[in-house]
Amino acid sequence: MTERITIDPITRIEGHLRIDAEVDGGKVTKAWSSGQMWRGIEVILQGRDPRDAWLFTQRICGVCTTVHALASVRAVENALQLEIPLNAQYIRNIVMSVHALQDHIVHFYVLSALDWVDVVSALSADPVKTASLAGSISSWSNNSVKRFKAVQEKLQGIVDSGQLGPFANGYWGHPAMKLPPEANLMAVAHYLEALDYQRKATQALGIISGKNPHIQNLSVGGVTTALNPDSDSALNMERLYWVKQLIGEVRGFIQQVYLPDVAAIGALYKDWLPYGAGVTNYLAMPDMVLDTKSTKFDLPGGTIMNGDLGTVKPISSFNDPYLRDNVVENISHAWYKGDWTKHPYEEETVPEYTDFQDDGKYTWLKAPRFAGQPMQVGPLAQMLVGYAQGHQEIIKNVNNALGLVSSIAGVTVGPEVLHSTLGRHVARAVRASMLADLSLKHWELLVDNIGKGDLTIFNKPTFPKGEQRGFGIHEAPRGALSHWIVIQDGKIKNYQCVVPSTWNAGPRDKEGLPGPYEASLVGNPIADAKQPLEVLRTIHSFDPCIACAVHMLDPEGRETIKVKAL
């Protein structure tokens, strides 16, 4: 018998997401992903100063703070063909990587661990055995009996108070929860520790960017972080070494706690490795820029189709026509008027809310397509694209992580297991580990360049008369991001964001091809349709961000929303 389940709200994500699924014989047979909020930020941008756009677009998301800021300045710079000073590139790279460290830590522990970790079960763990388990996978010095005992007591106190707070009505004791009590206690202890380490990453980011969430140190043409080793009113060596120390501490947590924890959960839930692949076309953007023209990168971009690593094609610059000419969005199943498919420069949309229609329109999210195909984006896409291109650092780091999973699981697993719910977690942890190393590398590059006497941070933009078009790309923590801008006489004429969570959470397209969330749920086991924990597992593995995913429109006047074709 087919049973229909609706999960609304999906929690432990950014934003407002509803998931519907049909369940038959204990498995999901069909699914719908529905974004439930629209704000119209791109409409608000029209007619404004292009230099201001990044401050607006950054507010698309406070979880993915920094990412829409970076993509936006790059879009305007691309339209003006403006080169960026090396110092500014390095500072942006440190901003990008340090923010990603915080974001990936928070995603795993705060937003998704409770899908796999039974908090209540941790109460019955033996702290001595817990320390022994933790010691077998990591040399982290805080994995002590005393620490685990203290955490257990703290947890017991919360339970005894009768006020479970955020842990109330969780999926404790659910049949899909399989970890031994000791693994649960270890994870709960690391959940609390993660809160401290993610904060250290934000402090490193703060020193460079003035504050966060929502950094305030970018500008079209570079950055506004003043550099001067001989001033107390600029980024000097005292400040720079503080940044380095904080990154080093976070790197330790990522490489000795986060990555081993993910490997342990992957191994202890090895029955779950076959689930959640969904769409196996992948798209990633190149990033961690190494030159002023944005043509050399430390992280690779490209595409893979049908899960076949042999199909890999690179995206190799911020001007690459392979990307520019292949992105479209379709609105057949989104709450906008019509069923068109258009390139971002050409989009024109009118909202048309219909409520949830299974076979009609059911979301505020559009369906982005690359060369006509749905694409999965995110750390997994970038790791696979790099793996397929022979990127040595990625191959080394991915193989190390798979080796750790294999040793804990007692069976050998290869890169093929990455096409899965758990694979997305493993790839994210690997990327975090690489970014921890890369952020220190770019810190060195910045300091070396300052040492040469170069304090340049900014090339002033000038806006010519007439129309310019540009796109800015960025590999955000949730994956491939692009902003598309049309500038007319120095003002914004059209602005579109094609966002990671729109790629992943978007609906079916005109041909009925489902988006990655929808495809990944099909075949997922469901033990209890009233407690659909397994759906959360797969959805959370993408790291949904719905504020990011929903955007766009083109209103004229207040009552009717009408569209301007470009």
Partner 1 sequence: MTDTAHSTDLDLQVNRRGFLKGCTIVAAALGISEAMIPKLVEAATSAQRPPVIWLHFQECTGCTESLLRASHPDIGRLILEIISLDYHETVMAAAGHQAEKSLHDTLDKYAGKFLCVVEGGIPTKDKGIYCKIAGRTAVDILAEVAPKAAAIIAIGSCATFGGIQAAAPNPTGSKGVRDLVSGTPVINIPGCPPNPISFLGTVLHYLTFNRLPVTDNLGRPLFAYGRRIHDHCERRAHFDEGRFAEQFGDFGHRNGYCLYKLGCKGPETFSNCPSARFNDVDVWPVSVGHGCIGCTEPNFWDTMTPFYERLPNVKIPGIGGTTVDTAGKTILGVAAAAVGIHAAIGIGKKVIKGCGCKGEKKES
Alpha-carbon separation of residue 71 from 33, 50, 368, 553 (angstroms): 26, 13, 17, 19
* Helix/strand/coil for 324: helix
**Rounded to 5°, angle at Cα 546 from 32 and 167:** 90
Instruction: Give me the least distance between CB of 541 and partner 1, in Å please.
Output: 14
Q: How far apart are CA 472 and CA 470, in angstroms?
A: 7
Q: Which is nearer to partner 1, 8 or 511 (CB)?
A: 8
Please tell me which residue in 14, 42, 77, 182 is annotated as part of the active site: 14
Q: At what angle do helices 86-106 and 67-80 cross, to 10 degrees?
A: 150
Which CB sits closer to partner 1, 202 or 433?
Answer: 202
**Amino acid letter, 396:** K
3-state secondary structure 104-121: HHHHHHHHHHHHCCCCCH
CB of 6 to partner 1, least distance (A): 7
Q: In the bound complex, what is the minimum distance in angstroms from residue 410's beta carbon to partner 1?
A: 30
Structure tokens at 394: 């990625």
Told to judge if 548 belongs to the known catalytic residues of this protein, a careful annotator would answer: yes
User: Cβ(255)–Cβ(433) under 8 Å?
Assistant: yes
Q: Judged by CB, which is closer to partner 1: 50, or 470?
A: 50
Q: Which is nearer to partner 1, 91 or 304 (CB)?
A: 91
Cβ of residue 10: shortest distance to partner 1, in angstroms? 6
| Least distance CB 248 / partner 1 (angstroms) | 15
Which residue lies nearer to partner 1 by CB, 345 or 458?
Answer: 458
Peptide bond into 260 cis (omega under 30): no
Helices 392-409 and 379-388, packing angle to 10 deg: 110
Would you call 478 a catalytic residue per the annotation?
yes
Distance CA 151, CA 319 (A): 51
**Is-catalytic flag, 497?**
no
CB under 8 Å, gap of 24 or more: what pairs does 496-499 form?
496/42, 496/329, 496/344, 496/345, 496/347, 496/551, 496/552, 497/42, 497/57, 497/60, 497/68, 497/71, 497/548, 497/551, 497/552, 498/327, 498/329, 498/344, 498/368, 499/60, 499/545, 499/548, 499/549, 499/551
Question: What is the spatial distance between Cα 115 and Cα 269, in angstroms, rounded to a whole number?
Answer: 12
33, 219, 545, 551: the catalytic one is 545
Compute the least distance from the CB of residue 206 to partner 1, in Å.
3
User: Quick check: bond before 213 cis, omega within 30?
Assistant: yes
Considering beta carbons, is residue 52 or 126 the nearer one to partner 1? 52
Indicate the DSSP class of residue 63. Answer: S
Catalytic residue, from 18, 68, 74, 391: name it.
68
User: Exactly one of 18, 61, 121, 428 is catalytic; which is it?
Assistant: 61
Closest CB to partner 1 among residues 111, 486: 111
551 catalytic residue (yes or no): no
Q: Which of 34, 64, 251, 347 is catalytic?
A: 64
In angstroms, the CA 97 to CA 32 distance is 33
Q: C-beta of 252: minimal distance to partner 1 in Å?
A: 18
Catalytically active residues are: 14, 61, 64, 68, 478, 501, 545, 548
